[in-house]
Amino acid sequence: MGRSIRAAGLAVWLTLLLTVPAFGAEPESLVPVGKTVGLELEMDGVYIVGFSEEDSPAQAAGLQTGDCIKAVNGCPLDKAETLRALVSESGGGTVVLDLDRAGRAVQAAMRPVNRNGELFLGLRVRDRIAGLGTVTFYDPETGLFGALGHGVSGGNRQPIVIRGGLAAETCVSGIRRGKAGSPGSLLGPASGGTVLGRIEQNTDRGLFGHADGAELEGQCAPLAAREDVRTGPAEIWCGLDGGQPAAYTVEIEAVRLDEEQCRDLRLVVTDRRLLEQTGGIVQGMSGSPILQDGKLVGAVTHVLVRDPTRGYGILIGHMLEGADQAAKAA
């Protein structure tokens, strides 16, 4: 259709490290949550999120956004703050970076340049990421929770490898409304709140971890089988009022299986309250559970940048398969 799309969750630069057991059998019911939370992820390495200027030594050497720097001149690197010191130790000589590029080992050599007495590669890097997102479900049987419905990725669109992370209480302090060509977002602190659970996986179908459930407990809803999901009225649960969930009406315009892109469902927001508050789907609403006929259908994942009243969602079965496949691969 030629329309650009954007993930409605963490606005990011950004598979998996996990301790979550495989499901064995898919649960028959889960608690739909819809709570807006702060999400903090600790990256397993130092990721390149951009370049400070064109034609920097790093760009000239072929480095790319999304590359993970594993070592500098043979010295392992796990903190962004260490990179500057290691470059300085080179004394202006050749710096060799060992990189992970979407699972492929790459090595790049470059000579730093001097900028105002400091050796400079022209990189912007990060070892942590934080933002707002929405918890989709909680399993009271196992303590497992899932959020976002898509992965937190780097510039190469691959989910970043994480050491772990936290989901914490937050308060939505404001909303930047979406408009054509400019996605909106929920505003609020991503860190510092009471910890609700620990994130253990970052997969292409969502973030997964465990919680004690005190703040995520609720009434379980049966899971909709794929063949039961239909076009027509539905609702999404999202936390706009202080982060606490409320139900808003949407229409499922199309149902299709798109496992690679997390866009099984095409949605249009019909709720006047939501349209007045946000303009439609905004960043931070990724993971908002979708319910139809009292059943948990899936989660909101993306917004159409050209039309924020429309977006996409992932089926709950695909989301759970992502957690299960990741556990089996660990």
Active-site positions? 150, 271, 286
Gyration radius of the chain over CA positions: 21
Q: What is the 3-state secondary structure (H, E, C) of the chain?
A: CCCCEEECCCCCCCCCCCCCCCCCCCCCEEEEEEEEEEEEEEEEEEEEEEECCCCCHHHHCCCCCCCEEEEECCEECCCHHHHHHHHHHCCCCCEEEEEEECCEEEEEEECCEEECCEEECCEEEEEEEEEEEEEEEECCCCCEEEECCCCCECCCCCECCEEEEEEEECCCCEEECCECCECCEEECCCCCCCEEEEEEEEECCEEEEEECCCCCCCCCEEECCHHHCCCEEEEEEEEEECCEEEEEEEEEEEECCCCCCCCCEEEEECCHHHHHHHCCCCECCCCCEEEECCEEEEEEEEEECCEEEEEEEEEHHHHHHHHHHHHHHC
CA pair distance 23, 285, nearest whole angstrom: 26
Residues 245 and 291 sit within 8 Å (Cβ to Cβ): no
CA pair distance 267, 312, nearest whole angstrom: 6
- The torsion region of residue 33 among left (phi > 0), alpha (psi -120 to 50) and beta comes to alpha
